[in-house]
Copies of this chain bind each other. A is one copy, B any other.
Amino acid sequence: MPKGQITKARILHQAAELFNQQGYAGSSMSDVMAVTGLKKGGIYNHFKSKDELALAAFEYAIATMGQHHRAVLRQSPHAVERLFGILSVFGSFVDQPPVIGGCPLMNTAIEADDAHPALKTHAQQAMTNLRRLLCHIVNTGIAKGELQPAVDADVFATILISTVEGAIMMSKLYDDSTHLDRAITHLTTYINDQLRI
């Protein structure tokens, strides 16, 4: 990889972690300079503005989540195991998050919903992609006879995402994974009792 590309990738990684902890509004370009060890020109050489960097760093963080999802999905073709795999990725978001600072999708949604239309649009798209992934797993599982045919995939996606994201918020607030562990146990029981055939 050419040196410029390596620098750009490093800025994205470090900016994604910074924004995921301090928020976009709470991070200045001076903060980005501090975490990357680069001068202003070294950053503006790759990103024209803080907003451009914010959108690119968000997409980087979401792509990192996506890599973790694909890794667990490769481990089993069975819908129930795949849902447990997705839960296990969320289960890592407090103690060993793919991007330091918790869930970049929730953090960005909360910050952007009333304040940053461009980031909000990107977060909507990432949320829609996550919901589609879950719907695809559920509907494929129904078609293969692994899940109850009466399950509404989109409703289930809402319940899974809302429960784990809310629990990540609670566990991050207390620095204690108890709440996320409870949410994952609850959803595991729900999947076994209500979805599994």
Contact = CB atoms under 8 A, between A and B. Distances in A.
B163 A163 contact: yes
A127 B175 CA distance: 13
Contacts of A20: 114
B101 A23 contact: no
Interface string A94-134: 00000001100011011101110000100110010000000
Contacts of A109: 169-170, 172-173
Number of copies of chain A assembled together: 2
A41 to B, nearest CB: 26
B25 A22 contact: yes
Interface in A135-185: 155, 158-159, 161-167, 169-170, 172-174, 178-179, 182-183
A26 interface: yes
Contacts of A169: 106, 109-110, 162, 165-166, 169
Interface of A: 20-23, 25-26, 101-102, 106-107, 109-111, 113-115, 120, 123-124, 127, 155, 158-159, 161-167, 169-170, 172-174, 178-179, 182-183, 186
Chain A at the B interface: SS class? helix
A178 B183 CA distance: 21
